[in-house]
Amino acid sequence: MTSVHTDHHDHDHDHAAIEQVDRPGYYEVMETAIRELLIAKGLISAGDIRHQIEVLDSRSPALGAAVVARAWTDPDFKRRLLADGRKGCEELGISFYDDTQLIVLENTSEVHNLIVCTLCSCYPRPVLGLPPDWYKLKPYRARAVSEPRKVLAEFGTHLPDDVEIRVSDSTAAVRYLVLPLRPEGTDDWSPDELAAIVTRDAMIGVIPVTIGGEAA
């Protein structure tokens, strides 16, 4: 079940900081073991795996950035994208290799969206590629829900107290993409120029889009 959490205040208790680790995590170890078992039983081949890896390697945050830039510059496209994220992306030639839905959540001056997968690491891979390591770690998956304002602060994102934080929990069937606030002073920018400043982390919701280090 897809769940949405909101947060209006901070918490006083401490939790482990969001950290990135180099050693293989639980899911990486399990993936390797299951992959080797499936190959040994003849259920999949090494060629099948190579093909899927090539598909994944062809996906990167640049695809999502192009979607965001188009939404910032084309109100009709933005309306269609917010109504059906998957169809909106497909308009730009982005194919989906699974049956997942994509919901695009718009940040505003009053609402900030943050994406997490509390159970594992479900992620909008067709438009963003592979998730960052920190997205898969238990501290992020737990704390993004329980204390999102502190988590955002650790990424350098400090939001006013009157900005509502909405945390959306991805599932195997439903993935999310954040449509960040467009920075001021970019009214005359081309879609390519806009796409160049849209980062992966902004489309997860942990940071805003910035110009030259200044937040939107």
Supply the residues annotated as catalytic: 117, 120-122
Contact 176, 170 (CB under 8 A): yes
Torsion of CA 67, 175, 121, 45, to 10 degrees: -90
Task: Pull the structure tokens for residue 116.
Answer: 């997490």
The residue assigned the tokens 């399990």 is 30
Contact 15, 149 (CB under 8 A): no
Rounded Cα distance, 105 and 95, in Å: 20
Residue 195, φ and ψ in degrees, nearest 5: -60, -30
Rounded Cα distance, 7 and 149, in Å: 8
Rounded Cα distance, 117 and 176, in Å: 10
